[in-house]
Chains A and B, each alone.
Chain A
Amino acid sequence: MKHNDLDRVQRWMHAVITHPDGIVAGADADKARELLDAGAGNLESIVTRSTHLTAAERLAIYGNAYYSRLIDCTGEVFPVLKRTLGEEVFNGFVFGYLQNYPSTSYTLHHLGRNFVGYLSETRPEDAQWSDFLIDLARLEWEIYDVFDGPGLEEKESFEFESLLEIDPARWLNLRFKTAPCLRLLTTKYPVNNHYTLVRGTDEAIEIPFPGPEPENIAISRRDYVVRRYHLSLPQYVLLTELQKGEPLGIALESCADAAQNDPSINLEHDLTNWFSYWSSEQSFFENISGESESQFS
């Protein structure tokens, strides 16, 4: 076997330095030995020692850096979860995550994409408290994804006044194209408030975990700034239906159903306020069309 086969050496080195149990275990593992059958005892046949370091120690620099960089990057995506858990515990989760979902993309942007799923998969049974951490991770991933994803900044603003040119009899058929950066999520814990609280509090101050309380949240972006909005249940239902592409009439029916047990809501009045606010925010709707294939009936 030729040790100067660059491609093979590169893949061998990758296998060795990414092994979760370190360089020695990585060099002895089948994956590495299938590429270069050196083993931990013969590492210096591939990597020379330096004045001060053995081959294993030199490789360990890369092995350490590989995981520490990825863990650091993941921590940047989930800063509040990291602070909430503490660095050691958070790093433990990420280390486990990287074993199950190794980085496969040329960009680190996608590194944390499956982290929420990983937490859910490894969630202890009957451990309701863990939902808080999963909810928090979900919120942080959405914030991250919205920030770097497509938005409305480069698009022409929709002329809402054009709706007045549509026959009011057809308004129930209106279809909304929601902004590509609009995310709607519902959580079991009030993580949106917790996120705000943690971000605005000195790191030296410990923020207690909140108790369970369902929360509906909209996340969007305007002028490249991510914004979060607390939503009532009827608002969440309404926006969800519109985002699914349902006509306004269907969305309003669902909204009315969701609001029927809430005496504080006067839909005829409140809807005007809601939509007024949403359109003024310029981050909820991309456009609205009066034409639709299926009509509300």
Chain B
Amino acid sequence: MRGAACLILRLKKDNTMNTELTTQEKSRRDFLSKLALGSVSGLVIGSAGKALGDDAKKVPVILQDPNVCRGLNTCKGKGKGEHDCAGMGACATAEAHDCSGSNACKGQGGCGTTAGQNECKGAGKCAVPLNEKAWTKARAAFEEAAKAAGMKVGPAPAAA
């Protein structure tokens, strides 16, 4: 806190300057200078890891969500990714990249021996609905979810 006390003294000294400013402008600058003091004080205090006391704990204006690892920890232990907490996305990307690079998808062997039966992972998903139906289906999913939540839903929009 010694740093913060020092800051206050220096600001008071600074407030004796700028006498040529208009009253309104001086008031504005004084206000902003106080805010700047609070800002810089916070930066210094926070970086030093010093607690601000109960007030700060009671009013954590920023709510910290639980750490988000994007489900990335699932990769840990699987040996994929460069980080301990490697991302699931990176993991899947690497896998797919391997496939295109080596042209040897995991399931390709299976595809060869029992071809035509879509053993390749996810191969059966290729018959996906076409684009123009997607929003319609999304709307249906939305209505269903909203109904389950007891939300009132307006009429369906016209097709784009």
Chain A interfacial positions (CB closer than 8 Å to B): 20, 50, 52-53, 57-58, 60-61, 63-65, 67-73, 76-77, 79, 84-89, 91-97, 99-100, 107-109, 122-130, 132-133, 143-144, 147-148, 158-161, 163-164, 167-169, 171-172, 174, 192, 195-196, 199-200, 206-209, 211, 224-232, 235, 248-249, 252-253, 255-256, 267-281, 285, 288
B38 touches A95 (CB 8 A): no
Q: Can you list 26 A-B contacts with CB-CB less than 8 angstroms, sorted by A residue number?
A: A50-B115, A60-B116, A64-B118, A69-B122, A71-B128, A72-B96, A84-B141, A92-B128, A100-B131, A107-B97, A108-B93, A125-B158, A125-B160, A144-B70, A147-B72, A160-B44, A171-B33, A196-B66, A209-B142, A224-B84, A228-B68, A253-B32, A272-B45, A273-B59, A277-B56, A277-B60
Interface residues of B in 129-152 (CB under 8 A from A): 129-135, 137-139, 141-142, 145-146, 148-149, 151
Knowing A92-B131, A123-B135, A277-B62, the reply to whether A208 touches B38 (Cβ < 8 A) is no
B120 touches A72 (CB 8 A): no
Min C-beta distance of A199 to chain B, whole Å: 7
- Rounded to whole angstroms, the CA-CA distance of A63 and B116 in the bound complex is 12
B39 touches A96 (CB 8 A): no
Knowing A86-B141, A163-B43, the reply to whether A108 touches B97 (Cβ < 8 A) is yes
* B118 to chain A: closest residue by CB: A64
Min C-beta distance of A109 to chain B, whole Å: 6
- Rounded to whole angstroms, the CA-CA distance of A212 and B51 in the bound complex is 36
Chain B residue contacts of A271, Cβ below 8 A = 35, 38-39, 42
**B interface secondary structure, majority:** helix
* A229 to chain B: closest residue by CB: B62
Knowing A235-B61, A253-B32, the reply to whether A72 touches B39 (Cβ < 8 A) is no
Interface residues of B in 60-80 (CB under 8 A from A): 60-72
A124 touches B129 (CB 8 A): no
Interface range on chain B (Cβ under 8 Å from partner): 35 or more
B47 touches A280 (CB 8 A): yes
A164 touches B45 (CB 8 A): no
* Chain B 13-52 interface 0/1 with A at a Cβ cutoff of 8 Å (1 = within): 0100110000000000101111111111111111111001
B69 touches A275 (CB 8 A): no
B123 touches A122 (CB 8 A): no
- Rounded to whole angstroms, the CA-CA distance of A167 and B33 in the bound complex is 12
Which residue from B44, B48, B123 sits with its C-beta under 8 Å from A65?
B123
Min C-beta distance of A287 to chain B, whole Å: 11
A275 touches B68 (CB 8 A): no
B43 touches A226 (CB 8 A): no
Chain B residue contacts of A195, Cβ below 8 A = 68
Instruction: Please name 18 further chain A to chain B contacts, defined as beta carbons within 8 Å, in addition to the given A70-B96, A168-B14, sorted by A numbering.
Output: A61-B115, A76-B92, A89-B141, A95-B128, A107-B97, A125-B158, A129-B146, A129-B154, A133-B138, A160-B44, A163-B43, A164-B40, A208-B148, A227-B65, A273-B55, A276-B42, A277-B61, A279-B46
